[in-house]
A and B are shown apart, each in its own frame.
Chain A
Amino acid sequence: MAAAPASAAGRAPVSAPIPARVWVAYAGLALLLALLPWLVGGVLGLGNAWLRTLNFAVLYVMLALGLNIVVGFAGLLDLGYIAFYAVGAYMYALLASPHFGLHLPAWAILPAGAALAGLFGVILGAPTLRLRGDYLAIVTLGFGEIVRIFLNNLNAPVNITNGPQGVSGIDPLAFFGVSLAKPVVVAGITLLPLAATYYVFLLLALGVVFVTLRLENSRIGRAWVAIREDEVAAKACGIDTRNIKLLAFAMGASFGGVAGGLFAGFQAFVSPESFSLMESVMVLCMVVLGGMGHIPGVILGAVLLSLLPEAFRYAAVPVQKYLFGHVVVDPESLRMLLFGLALILVMLYRPAGLWPSPLRKRELKRSGP
């Protein structure tokens, strides 16, 4: 506690010295993230299902951070975000599967998927530039559905997406000739596929976190927030709101594209079903519930909303058996019920999210004399 000098906040908050306890927290977090597969698999004995859930949680962190750029920073409500995840996923599925007989490497597909998703972001953004709030939400919702419907129907006359059946037999993720489908040996330690995948996902997610943090604290990031706060004033400050908004759509979408590619390689199967409106809503909930515009909050939201529903599902049967002697509500319904209840409670009691940006802390800082 002693390491928080009140006077250091003055000149340049960006380069202010980081207190020791923050370093300790970071080190603890890093250790936890590094050991997580062992904790989940070994210590807690939760098994592979939970490792899979963990990997999905990391993917959702990427998605939520991408959507946060559009919704949290630039203040543009997007209900079709999952379309970009779909674009990335299908990009990978079509370029690395027996469907077309193409087997391009992941290092080539993932960036291409990010770029294509970014392009889709611009395509979505361009016609919606003058829209805000409800109107924008409706258009983006339509966009998300259109993409899904296209994926569903692009199997005739030329079979591109294989329609509702989806694409299966997708090549597993492989980097530098190391496939994540088989156990990976690193420095004498054997990593099972799910654990190896976790580390790859984690690495990429950390990259996304890094990029988002840097963007937030930059000329572009300030322009996004300025548009969110007051678009007219932003224009009067010389911000080309059209380009800056398109940039937000493209950046956010590209994160979704990367996550989609990883998803396809991880699942070895994609179908339009995975990209429903409910998924867009889920990612939006992660952003809003965690704390719109605040990166740590968004990460927390993504992790909680990926893990808690699974936990409910596992706990639902034993808990009910214990309480009532038999199962009263089926686990799936109960899961959604509790999820809805949690959302309502959080929005009622913490309208700015579970972990909002520390505005109050910031405003208490005074510049030096």
Chain B
Amino acid sequence: MSAPLLDARGVAKDFGGVKALKDVSLSIAPGEIYGLIGPNGAGKTTFFNCLTGLYAPDGGGFTFAGAPLKASAPHQAARRGIARTFQNIRLFAHMTARENVMVGRHVRTRAGVIGAILRDPRTRAEEAAIARRADELLHYVGIADRAHDLAKHLSYGDQRRLEIARALATEPRLLCLDEPAAGMNATERAALRTLIAGIRADGVTVLLIEHDVKLVMGLCDRVAVLDYGQLVVEDVPAVVQRDPRVIEAYLGAAPDEAGQGGAGEGGHA
């Protein structure tokens, strides 16, 4: 394996008595689709929050692309190339889909107050490039026709895609998706799968939290299982699926039945 893109070492997080993460160590190689699964409350989202700087871990830390990540500095995580979506969709509800994605370009653009007021050629060119990129990304995730709709008026599935487009706008090296298939129907899930595979093919490493076991096992190169804040196992899907601890902790059924995704709250939405 080449040098990892992300290396988490001994990450721990407590919420007053609740140990949401206990000494979690894992590493993700460039170009991988890495799955993170586990029952509700296992600490998956907390892991994302620590990684993206929304929470400061109580122990351990992250190395990203060879350099340590500063704790609790979300905008710097984005600058370093880590983008994310949220389990409970967090779009800018009263902005259009296009504007949402344009906000994603913030971190890769520079215009300030003076540029905004004078609208000099440089600012105008930058602004045009932001809009163009936003349109491309909306097209890329398949919601170009919704560009001028307010984010809050998009369907659930389209909102999830919009979040992905906004995250991609930051030009991430690592894209972290927190249950992107939740609330999607079978057709939307199939499209999402194609989309994630395409994102990886375009050179972005993907870290995927998902309850849909079929989606995870079919898509991921490696899968880690969290249970009560602890990393239970980390391996290729075929091995993880057969691990007795995993079956007990999460899948809760024989491997051939596990594909039904019984544990997910969004499993049958």
B86 / chain A contacts, CB cutoff of 8 Å = 232-233, 236
Binds A, one of B10-18, B95-103, B225-233: B95-103
Query: Which residues of chain A in 193-225 are interfacial with respect to chain B, using CB atoms and an 8 Å cutoff?
Result: 210-211, 214-215, 217-223, 225
The answer on a CB contact under 8 Å between A239 and B145 is no
B153 / chain A contacts, CB cutoff of 8 Å = 363
User: How far does the alpha carbon of A315 sit from the alpha carbon of B154 in the complex, in Å?
Assistant: 50
Encoded as 1 (CB less than 8 Å from any B CB) or 0, chain A from 343 to 364 comes to 0000000000000000100110
Pick the residue among A221, A236, A362 that contacts B96 (CB under 8 A): A362
Encoded as 1 (CB less than 8 Å from any A CB) or 0, chain B from 94 to 137 comes to 11100100111111110111011101000100111011000000
Interface size class of B (residues with CB under 8 A): 35 or more
Q: Does B170 contact A (CB under 8 A)?
A: yes
The answer on a CB contact under 8 Å between A214 and B119 is yes
**Most interface-central of A237, A362, A363 (chain B CB within 10 A):** A237
Q: Does A365 contact B (CB under 8 A)?
A: yes
Pick the residue among A9, A214, A226, A363 that contacts B116 (CB under 8 A): A214
The answer on a CB contact under 8 Å between A220 and B150 is no
**A237-B104, A363-B149 are contacts. A229–B117 as well, Cβ < 8 Å?**
no
Q: Does A321 contact B (CB under 8 A)?
A: no
Pick the residue among A218, A233, A359, A366 that contacts B91 (CB under 8 A): A233
A233 / chain B contacts, CB cutoff of 8 Å = 86, 90-92
Q: Does A251 contact B (CB under 8 A)?
A: yes
Pick the residue among A225, A229, A238 that contacts B170 (CB under 8 A): A238
The answer on a CB contact under 8 Å between A222 and B75 is no
B247 vs chain A, min Cβ distance (A): 34
**A218-B111, A226-B95 are contacts. A236–B74 as well, Cβ < 8 Å?**
yes
Pick the residue among A12, A219, A225, A359 that contacts B92 (CB under 8 A): A225
Binds A, one of B76-84, B186-194, B209-217, B250-258: B76-84
The answer on a CB contact under 8 Å between B96 and A230 is no
Dominant secondary structure at the B interface: helix
User: How far does the alpha carbon of A367 sit from the alpha carbon of B131 in the complex, in Å?
Assistant: 13
Q: Does A98 contact B (CB under 8 A)?
A: no
Q: Does A241 contact B (CB under 8 A)?
A: yes
The answer on a CB contact under 8 Å between A220 and B103 is no
**A211-B117, A229-B94 are contacts. A222–B150 as well, Cβ < 8 Å?**
no
A363 / chain B contacts, CB cutoff of 8 Å = 96, 148-150, 153
Q: Does B46 contact A (CB under 8 A)?
A: no
Q: Does A13 contact B (CB under 8 A)?
A: yes
The answer on a CB contact under 8 Å between A236 and B130 is no
A243 vs chain B, min Cβ distance (A): 9
Q: Does B166 contact A (CB under 8 A)?
A: yes
A215 / chain B contacts, CB cutoff of 8 Å = 113, 116-117
Query: Which residues of chain B in 23-82 are interfacial with respect to chain A, using CB atoms and an 8 Å cutoff?
Result: 52-54, 74-75, 78-79
User: How far does the alpha carbon of A215 sit from the alpha carbon of B106 in the complex, in Å?
Assistant: 14
B191 vs chain A, min Cβ distance (A): 20
**A220-B111, A363-B150 are contacts. A239–B116 as well, Cβ < 8 Å?**
no
B108 / chain A contacts, CB cutoff of 8 Å = 238
A121 vs chain B, min Cβ distance (A): 13
Q: Does B5 contact A (CB under 8 A)?
A: no
B135 vs chain A, min Cβ distance (A): 8
Complex: chain A residue closest to B94, CB-CB = A229
A16 vs chain B, min Cβ distance (A): 11
**A238-B78, A239-B106 are contacts. A219–B127 as well, Cβ < 8 Å?**
yes
Pick the residue among A222, A359, A367 that contacts B106 (CB under 8 A): A222
User: How far does the alpha carbon of A236 sit from the alpha carbon of B127 in the complex, in Å?
Assistant: 21
B264 vs chain A, min Cβ distance (A): 23
B77 vs chain A, min Cβ distance (A): 8
A214 / chain B contacts, CB cutoff of 8 Å = 116-117, 119
A307 / chain B contacts, CB cutoff of 8 Å = none
Q: Does B147 contact A (CB under 8 A)?
A: yes
Pick the residue among B78, B117, B147 that contacts A236 (CB under 8 A): B78
User: How far does the alpha carbon of A247 sit from the alpha carbon of B126 in the complex, in Å?
Assistant: 21
User: How far does the alpha carbon of A166 sit from the alpha carbon of B126 in the complex, in Å?
Assistant: 49
B168 vs chain A, min Cβ distance (A): 11
The answer on a CB contact under 8 Å between B92 and A230 is yes
The answer on a CB contact under 8 Å between A218 and B92 is no
**Most interface-central of B84, B148, B170 (chain A CB within 10 A):** B148
A238 / chain B contacts, CB cutoff of 8 Å = 75, 78-79, 104, 106-108, 170
A356 vs chain B, min Cβ distance (A): 11
Q: Does A240 contact B (CB under 8 A)?
A: yes
**A225-B92, A367-B144 are contacts. A234–B103 as well, Cβ < 8 Å?**
yes
Closest 10 CB pairs of A and B: A238-B107, A238-B78, A218-B116, A229-B92, A235-B74, A233-B90, A365-B148, A367-B147, A226-B103, A219-B111
Task: Name 28 interchain pairs, CB-CB below 8 A, sorted by A.
Answer: A9-B148, A215-B117, A218-B111, A218-B116, A218-B127, A220-B111, A225-B92, A226-B95, A230-B92, A232-B86, A233-B92, A235-B53, A235-B54, A235-B75, A235-B78, A236-B167, A237-B104, A237-B106, A237-B166, A238-B75, A238-B78, A238-B79, A238-B104, A238-B107, A238-B170, A363-B96, A366-B148, A367-B148
B interface list, Cβ under 8 A from A:
52-54, 74-75, 78-79, 83-84, 86, 90-96, 99, 102-109, 111-113, 115-117, 119, 123, 126-128, 130-131, 144-145, 147-150, 153, 166-167, 169-170
